[in-house]
Amino acid sequence: MSSVSSPTWLYGAIQRRRNRGLGGLYLVVAAFLVLYVVLFPGILSVGGFSKFTQNWFPLALVTMAQALLMLNGGITLAIGPLVSLGAVIAATTMESVFGVPGGIVAVAFTGLAIGAVIGAIVAHLRLPAIIVTLAGSFIITGVALILLPRPGGFIPDWLSNTLAGHTPVAFLLLVVVLLLWKAFLATPLGLGIYAAGDNPVGAFRSGVRVERAKIAAFALSGLLTALAGLFVAAQTGSGDPVIGAPFTLNSIAAAVLGGVGFLGGKGTMRGAICGSLLLSVMINVMFFLGFPPVAQYLAQGLIIVGAVAVPELLKSWRARR
């Protein structure tokens, strides 16, 4: 209370410390982006930028969904199936009487509800998130396959063209989601999610309702994941009951690349977003470099290990100095 500027100063110092570990990742991502622009200058056009960000957008969303839980000390293996279910619900409801608004509400509600139920089971029955979400992933996959046994369904063209046409709407949506996340972090609930992940007992003693924070984290994560599914449906113009499967591992990889720890409380959303951007831009850069598929597998692994190892090496180098 002695100084008005103290909170600002403290905030700045904390942010600097949180960013420090990410310096290496930022460098790697920047290098890849520059390389991409050199290889394909068309990325700087509105159309090129739009298409690239559209392919990145769903991964960015599910990475946020995963990071949100990992920051809270959890994890989810149900990302992929929930993306599929979101896509399937979008593609099956939008042609019904409920129309596009009804479809969006249905997808959002499903994501929130499934997330909340998983969260409640994890929080109140004290079961490990990894087991509950693994079981959940089977159930969700089954439901998606029952709703739509094979790829199909329908998304209105105008919706596809709005979200995934030749305009950077997807990128703008991502910016909006990130701003909302920033605003959410300023609320007690938002801070509580972080605090409960970092030190559950301490958070509880400081008045954070740890269980509620956990359920909220799962519900929000489910919402983001299902909306990623909605976007995938719009991008592809249809639903596919198994299209989301690879997102589960990719979301974990992106979050870990971005410096989010498995033990909770450690890491930042911006790091996770950068991790997902690296995973996405890497694919395009390797294509333009003309890597054969076998080399792509290798390079992908090396880049991921490198991006995780470089910051650690920098840290130990700094510590020795």
Partner 1 sequence: MKTFENNPSASLRSRLLAGAAVAATLLVFSAGTASAAANCIKGDRKAPYTVGWANIYSVPTWMKQTEGTIAAEVEELKKAGLVKDLMITDAQGNAQTQIQHIQSMIDANVDAIVVIAGSSNALDRVISDACDKGIAVVNFDSLVNTDKVTAKINTDSAEWGAGAAKWLSDQLGGKGKIIVMNGPAGISVSDDRRKGAQPVLDANPGLEIITETNTEYNAAPAQEAMTSLLFANPEIDGVLSLGGAISAGSVMAFDRQGREQVPVTGENARQFLELWKEKGLKGWATMQPNWLGALSVYTAVQALEGKDVPAFIKVPLPVIDDSTIDSYLARAENFPADGYIYSDYDKALFDKLLAQ
Binding site for partner 1 (CB under 8 A): 40, 42-43, 48, 51-52, 55, 58-59, 145, 149-153, 160, 164, 232, 235-243, 245-247, 250, 280, 283-284, 287-288, 290, 292-294, 296-297
Q: Which residues of 244-257 are buried (b: 16+ CB within 10 A; e: fewer)?
A: bbebbebbbbbbbb
Instruction: Take residue 25 and report the two structure tokens written for it.
Output: 């990742």
Our CB check for partner 1 shows the closer of 227 and 240 to be 240
Shorter beta-carbon distance to partner 1: residue 142 or 306: 142
Minimum CB separation of residue 300 from partner 1 in Å reads 9
**Of residues 72 and 238, the one with the C-beta less far from partner 1:** 238
Smallest gap, in angstroms, from Cβ of residue 153 to partner 1? 8
Backbone φ, ψ for residue 211 (5° rounding): -60, -45
Please give the Cα distance from 32 to 255 (Å, whole number): 18
Please say which residue, 262 or 287, places its beta carbon nearer to partner 1: 287
Question: Shortest distance, CB of residue 139 to partner 1, whole angstroms?
Answer: 15
Written as six digits, the tokens of 87 are: 């896509």
CB of 75: closest distance to partner 1 in angstroms? 21
Inter-residue contact 210 to 122 (CB < 8 Å)? no
Q: Please identify, using beta-carbon distances, which residue of 89 and 243 lies nearer to partner 1.
A: 243
Q: What is the DSSP string of 211-229?
A: HHHHHHHHHHHHHHHHHHH
What is the nearest approach in angstroms of partner 1 to the Cβ of residue 309?
A: 23
Q: How far is CA 65 from CA 150, 151, 224, 225, in A?
A: 26, 25, 6, 6
